[in-house]
Chain A
């Protein structure tokens, strides 16, 4: 079974600085998808960024980028120029590419605090 581990229950960053959130996963599949979701206090789950395992290039979305290390099964999220609105719980998630089970497997989350 696939597992997703986020080893940092909490992180903090100063506004305008950069922070990196860690995620590791375990799978025997060769093709899969990885995601970072943001959950602000409103509880809404918001997709931040996604990465296809077959792509070597790291995904980027504006101030958000990932460091995908397939051999190490590592998928970290870097937030540059942190803003107060980035404060939220961040979840790393995995989904296999094929088959009929479309479930997302989530980590336990990292609570990010942004200090003014």
Chain B
């Protein structure tokens, strides 16, 4: 049971480039989330999904897109990278949204630098 996995671990992008951050979980969790963590700050929610085919915006969605075609995978796409997107990105999952089983389990993170 690998839990939540993320690839790549590190990436450097040039301004204007695009990339997809991969996230997968093998716990059969329905809910998945993308957060970003800027230096000296807590995590902020970018997007989340309550199940395959259903996604919704968090508090900082601008510049990102997501899709959820399967229960296991929840990729995050950056279309036109900007220096403001330099951050550490965390993917998380939970069995359900509220109540027992709603604890969010996090992946190891992807450190992204945009130059």
Interface of A with B (CB < 8 Å)?
4, 33, 35, 37, 42-47, 50, 91, 93, 95, 97-98, 100, 102-109
Interface of B with A (CB < 8 Å)?
31, 33, 35, 40-45, 48, 50, 56, 58-59, 88, 90, 92, 94, 97-98, 102-109, 111
Q: Is the CB of B98 within 8 A of A97?
A: yes
In terms of DSSP, what is the predominant structure of the interface of chain B? strand
Q: Is the CB of B43 within 8 A of A106?
A: yes
Q: Is the CB of B42 within 8 A of A107?
A: yes
> How far is B19's CA from A62's CA once the two chains are assembled, in angstroms?
42
Q: Would you give 19 A-B contacts (Cβ < 8 Å), ordered by A? A: A4-B42, A43-B88, A44-B106, A44-B109, A45-B90, A45-B92, A47-B105, A91-B42, A93-B42, A98-B98, A100-B50, A100-B56, A102-B31, A102-B50, A102-B98, A103-B33, A103-B48, A106-B43, A108-B40
